[in-house]
Structure 1
């Protein structure tokens, strides 16, 4: 194993403590709980999860000299204030997505991260699934890519009685399905293909009188002309957290699905499809480096945090996947704004 992530896993708990990297988790909801669980599994000392509203009322916890990393797991409308205060206090920051509810806020955080020189990571944990890394290592074998396609389907907001702060535009932002779950798919599509999305044509749907989109159908154009299609829904009955990412190339195709995270499907014309598993002897070294513990719902988040804290502990080697940056979050905030503009004007819109 040659990644920073795997070396971090191999360290003793005392080494982590001696590195003086104690964390603070701000946000006591689902995301905050999952961050805390991953930190505990890694042996990283932390405080929290603390109520984000209480920290906003009394932000002195962010100034605590014994803390070096702040995890922002609050509602979207609090990200800029909390992450900004942490960066100005000299803390490294791990922030949940979306980075901000609007482009201006995301730009502010990117500029502040550059000014302070602190490590600023966005919690795009899906890129640290072993089989996503394996897909990235095999993408060249598909030949020149011509299509990226996929979906991200959930059902937890199907009913009118399904309430959550994310449906409130003031707290979650003007975009929901795109900014909340679409951002994960966009991140993987760009990372694995090595291309940026430059334009979008969007059609949105809203249920129960909500102001933000419950589902979205997106046509995509990538930087080299590659096309893409993406279907998003938080009202698709029977789908809990069902993300699928596929690429079609001149000589082959590949599909990874989050509901079957330990498999990578590979197809070729005229040949039998091949399913590669995480225990396959031909798995790349980068993917094997991430598959060091039994799989589970928090595996990718643990792998991401392991890479973050390895970097902060002085390991200069490259992790199995690049650390997701605030710049990535800004780009996808701009994408969400472009998609909303496209839907309202019923036309293609460039992604700035």
Structure 2
């Protein structure tokens, strides 16, 4: 039995817990949150034997094999580094760290310790996204010509909306690009098999003054009538990036969290010499396939019609849709299989590791530099 300690009992921590109870051979034995009430609530709900408000109680526990780091960004580096030094395997939330230098140190340390690591880039684990990647690898798309995508949400569209992600001290130098952009660029690099080489970015803070509640607010929680104070926001809720993939392939990406009516619409479009692929998170079981001289197609998640490497993730009969929790579960299963197989600190595009997190921080650092300089920047 692999013994797990989880740090951070907020929104994403509960997502992790929901999936960990579905995986055989894994047991969460300790949970930590700096708000002890949240730790106790999660421990009671999931039957976890102990809880604490000090993350060191988990990292320094010799009986714990794996750490799930579900904390805000400012804690990622310290917790991940101490866990690696303690000989733990680690699955961390993204972004991997607050700075590129921190992310590089974590990747290099994971190699030195030969640790199995993971970063929760879960969107690549939807079955039809896996199918698009398999088709591209097998040449069905032809040569990639261009890439486009968006990610729109509305949970920060009012001045009364607040999140720790809007504060530099908690989150780092970027909000929406670090949060949603890291997910989207992971998707594109995984799908195409090509790495981002150049970027030019544009950021905007659309609601510069907000009302910050004096009491704790969890992710995606909307509270209107609370005691609050004025908060000056320095980070962006809008970002647009033009980029080039290897081979000088052009692409563009736009994201924002202030788009009323858009809850979490993640989309990509990949245009090739033979056909085109498009996917939108709101219709996550459908892959659009575009043609010029014959009717367009739509593949609905179905293991019988998919490449074997993608079909392994379509675990229900056709017509029984898998969702966000299942994508997270698939990532976790790959992570724990790597532990069982003694994979160590392997560098693979198939499974997101600390190297993947480091790569995403390289992209973010280049975008931030581009925004400051208003120029193209090389990665």
The TM-score with structure 1 as length reference comes to: 0.89
Moved over 2 A (4+): 52-58
1:348 correspondence with 2:376: yes
* Structure 1 residue corresponding to 2:18, chosen from 37, 53, 78: 37
User: In the alignment, is the contact (CA less than 8 A) between 2:32 and 2:58 conserved in 1?
Assistant: no
* Structure 2 residue corresponding to 1:264, chosen from 263, 275, 287: 287
- 1:205 aligns with 204
Q: CA deviation at 1:269?
A: 0.6
1:331 correspondence with 2:339: no
Equivalence map 1:176-325=2 (5 Å)? 176-209=175-208, 210-279=233-302, 281-293=304-316, 295-314=322-341, 322-325=350-353
Cα separation, partners in 2 of 1:330 and 1:68, compared to 1, 3 Å: same
Distance in 1 separating the partners of 2:29 and 2:157: 35
Q: CA deviation at 1:303?
A: 0.4
User: In the alignment, is the contact (CA less than 8 A) between 2:68 and 2:92 conserved in 1?
Assistant: yes
Q: List per-residue Cα deviations over 1:162-204 (Å, max 9, x = no partner).
A: 1111111111110111110111110111111111101111111
Cα separation, partners in 2 of 1:172 and 1:310, compared to 1, 3 Å: same
Q: Mark the runs of 5 or more structure 1 residues left unpaired by the alignment.
A: 1-16
Q: Mark the runs of 5 or more structure 2 residues left unpaired by the alignment.
A: 37-51, 209-232
* Bigger mean CA deviation after superposition, 180-189 or 340-349: 340-349
* Structure 2 residue corresponding to 1:84, chosen from 74, 81, 95: 81
- 2:142 aligns with 143
Q: List per-residue Cα deviations over 1:112-170 (Å, max 9, x = no partner).
A: 11111111111111111111110011122121111011111111111111111111111
Cα separation, partners in 2 of 1:58 and 1:256, compared to 1, 3 Å: closer
Q: CA deviation at 1:110?
A: 0.9
Distance in 1 separating the partners of 2:96 and 2:34: 16
- 2:152 aligns with 153
| Structure of greater relative contact order (alpha carbons < 8 Å, 6+ residues apart) | 1
User: In the alignment, is the contact (CA less than 8 A) between 1:246 and 1:255 conserved in 2?
Assistant: yes
Q: Name the SS of the counterpart of 2:274 in structure 1.
A: coil
Cα separation, partners in 2 of 1:280 and 1:72, compared to 1, 3 Å: closer
The number of residues matched between the two structures is 330
* Structure 2 residue corresponding to 1:74, chosen from 71, 74, 85: 71
Q: Name the SS of the counterpart of 1:22 in structure 2.
A: strand
Q: CA deviation at 1:280?
A: 5.9
Q: CA deviation at 1:271?
A: 1.6
User: In the alignment, is the contact (CA less than 8 A) between 1:36 and 1:48 conserved in 2?
Assistant: no
Q: CA deviation at 1:208?
A: 2.1
Distance in 1 separating the partners of 2:53 and 2:360: 26
- 2:168 aligns with 169
Distance in 1 separating the partners of 2:251 and 2:34: 37
User: In the alignment, is the contact (CA less than 8 A) between 2:122 and 2:327 conserved in 1?
Assistant: yes
- 1:118 aligns with 115
RMSD: 1.9
Q: CA deviation at 1:47?
A: 3.0
1:93 correspondence with 2:74: no
* Bigger mean CA deviation after superposition, 201-210 or 72-81: 201-210
- 1:10 aligns with none
Distance in 1 separating the partners of 2:251 and 2:86: 41
